[in-house]
C-alpha cells in the first residue's frame, strides 16, 4: 500500500532563517575579523616618527663616517699613485744606465777577446748577469785594468740599485691597488647609506614630514638657547680676565709690573697673529654660506665638512690635513668654554664631523647631504655630540 507521507525537503531550516542568508552573514563576520586581525600587525610594524628620525640621522652620520674614510683613501691613493709613478720613472732611468754599463763591459770583453789580452773566462765574467758571483776569483780581477774594474763596479752598483727600485715599485703598485679598493668600498658605502636615508624619508606622509619639521625646529631652538648660554659664560670669563689684568696693572708692584709686562709681551703677539689668521679663515667660510654639501668635495662650488675647514684655513695660509681624523690632531685642544673664533669644533666619538667656530656658541659648517653651508649652534645635535675643540694655528 502506497504511503501518503510527503517526502522531507532536502534543504534545512534553522529557526526560520534560510540557509543562504546564514552563510552570507557568517562569511561577512569572518571577513571582518580577518581584516581586523591583519590590520593590527601592520599598524604595529610601522616605525614611529621618532624612530624614523633617529634612523635617518644615524644613516647620515654613518654616511659622514664613510665620507671621511673615502677622503682618507682618496688622499692615500693620490700619494701612492704619485710615488709609484716616480719609482717607475726612476726604474726606467736606472735600466738605461744599466744597459749602458752592460754595453761598456761588452765592448771591453770583445776587445780583449779579439786581441787575446784576456782569457775567454774574462769575457764570460764581464757579460754575466751577476758578475758579483765572480768577484772572489782574484786572478781574473788582477788581469783587469783599473778602467775595467771601475766599469765592473759601476755595472754591479747599477744592477743592485735597479733591482731594489723595481721591488719598491712593485710594492708601491700593490699598495696603490689596495688603496683603490678601499676608495671604491668607501664610495659604495656612502652611496648606500644616503640611498637608505632618502628611501626612509620618501615613505613619510605630508603630515609626518610636517611633524618632523616641527621636531627639528624644537631642536634648533634648544640648540640656540644653549649657544646663548655659552656666549654669556664666555663673555663673563673674558670680563673677569680683563678685570684681573687691570688689578695687576694697578698693583704698583714693580716686580709684579715687570712680570706682567713680560707676560703681555709674550702672549700678545701670538694672540694677535692667531686672530688675524682666524679672521681670514672666517671671511672665507662666510663667503661659502649657501653652497651645497657634497660628500668628498673640497670646493669651490661645494664642500663636505672637512673640505670646508681645510679650505677656510688654507685661505689664511695654514695647511690642514684632509680628514677630520687628522685635523683633530693638527693643533692645540682647548675647552669649549675657551673656544675662540677660528677654532675647529669636532663632533661624535668617531670624530666624523667638524665646523669652524665663529663665536657666541655658533659655527659655520657643511652639515650633511641635502643641506647647504650655514651658520648653526655648536649644540645642533646636542651637547653630548661635541667631541673637542682644536686651535689649528
Place 121 in a pLDDT band, splitting at 50, 70 and 90. Answer: low
Q: Average of pLDDT values for 17-22?
A: 43
**Top-confidence range, 45-54, 88-97, 182-191, 295-304:** 295-304
| pLDDT tens-digit series, residues 61-73 | 888 888 898 888 8
Q: How far is CA 392 from the centre of its chain?
A: 18
Average pLDDT in the chain: 78
Q: Which of 61, 76, 165, 353 is catalytic?
A: 353
First to last CA, the chain: 125
Mean pLDDT of 244-258: 69
Over residues 169-215, the pLDDT tens digits come to 788 778 888 878 888 888 888 889 888 888 888 888 899 889 888 98
pLDDT category of residue 112 using cuts at 50, 70 and 90: low
User: Do 73 and 186 contact (CB within 8 A), yes or no?
Assistant: yes
Please check whether residue 66 is in contact with residue 189, taking contact to mean a CB–CB distance below 8 angstroms: yes
Task: Report whether pLDDT(59) > 60.
Answer: yes
Per residue in 135-151, pLDDT (tens digit) is 544 445 555 566 666 76
- Give me the catalytic one of 56, 91, 305, 311: 305
Q: Is the pTM of this model over 0.75?
A: no
Higher pLDDT, 192 or 111: 192
- Of residues 61, 193, 322, 365, which has the active-site annotation? 365
272 vs 390, higher pLDDT: 390
> Catalytic annotation on 4?
no
Amino acid at each position: 500500500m502506497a504511503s501518503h507521507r510527503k517526502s522531507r525537503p532536502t534543504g534545512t531550516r534553522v529557526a526560520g532563517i534560510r540557509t543562504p542568508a546564514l552563510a552570507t552573514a557568517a562569511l561577512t563576520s569572518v571577513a571582518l575579523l580577518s581584516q581586523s586581525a591583519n590590520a593590527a600587525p601592520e599598524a604595529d610594524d610601522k616605525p614611529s616618527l621618532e624612530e624614523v628620525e633617529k634612523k635617518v640621522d644615524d644613516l647620515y652620520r654613518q654616511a659622514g663616517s664613510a665620507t671621511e674614510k673615502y677622503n682618507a683613501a682618496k688622499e692615500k691613493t693620490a700619494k701612492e699613485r704619485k710615488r709609484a709613478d716616480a719609482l717607475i720613472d726612476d726604474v726606467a732611468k736606472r735600466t738605461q744606465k744599466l744597459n749602458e754599463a752592460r754595453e761598456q763591459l761588452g765592448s771591453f770583453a770583445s776587445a780583449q777577446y779579439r786581441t787575446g789580452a784576456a782569457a775567454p773566462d774574462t769575457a764570460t765574467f764581464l757579460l754575466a748577469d751577476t758578475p758579483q758571483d765572480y768577484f772572489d776569483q782574484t786572478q781574473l780581477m788582477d788581469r783587469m785594468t783599473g778602467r775595467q774594474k771601475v766599469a765592473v763596479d759601476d755595472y754591479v752598483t747599477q744592477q743592485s740599485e735597479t733591482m731594489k727600485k723595481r721591488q719598491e715599485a712593485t710594492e708601491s703598485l700593490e699598495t696603490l691597488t689596495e688603496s683603490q679598493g678601499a676608495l671604491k668600498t668607501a664610495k659604495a658605502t656612502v652611496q648606500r647609506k644616503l640611498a637608505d636615508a632618502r628611501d626612509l624619508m620618501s615613505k613619510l606622509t605630508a603630515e609626518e614630514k610636517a611633524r618632523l619639521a616641527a621636531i627639528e625646529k624644537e631642536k634648533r631652538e634648544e640648540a640656540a638657547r644653549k649657544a646663548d648660554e655659552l656666549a654669556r659664560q664666555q663673555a663673563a670669563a673674558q670680563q673677569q680676565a680683563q678685570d684681573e689684568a687691570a688689578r695687576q696693572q694697578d698693583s704698583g708692584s714693580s716686580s709684579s709690573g715687570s712680570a706682567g709686562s713680560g707676560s703681555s709681551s709674550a702672549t700678545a703677539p701670538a694672540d694677535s697673529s692667531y686672530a688675524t689668521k682666524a679672521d681670514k679663515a672666517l671671511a672665507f667660510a662666510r663667503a661659502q654660506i649657501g653652497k651645497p654639501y657634497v660628500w668628498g668635495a673640497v670646493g669651490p662650488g661645494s664642500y663636505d665638512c672637512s673640505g670646508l675647514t681645510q679650505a677656510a684655513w688654507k685661505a689664511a695660509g695654514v695647511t690642514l690635513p684632509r680628514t677630520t681624523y687628522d685635523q683633530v690632531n693638527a693643533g692645540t685642544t682647548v675647552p669649549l668654554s675657551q673656544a675662540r673664533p677660528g677654532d675647529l669644533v669636532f663632533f661624535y666619538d668617531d670624530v666624523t664631523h667638524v665646523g669652524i667656530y665663529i663665536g657666541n656658541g655658533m659655527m659655520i659648517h657643511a652639515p650633511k647631504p641635502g643641506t647647504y653651508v650655514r651658520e648653526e649652534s655648536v649644540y645642533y645635535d646636542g651637547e653630548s655630540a661635541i667631541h673637542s675643540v682644536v686651535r689649528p694655528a
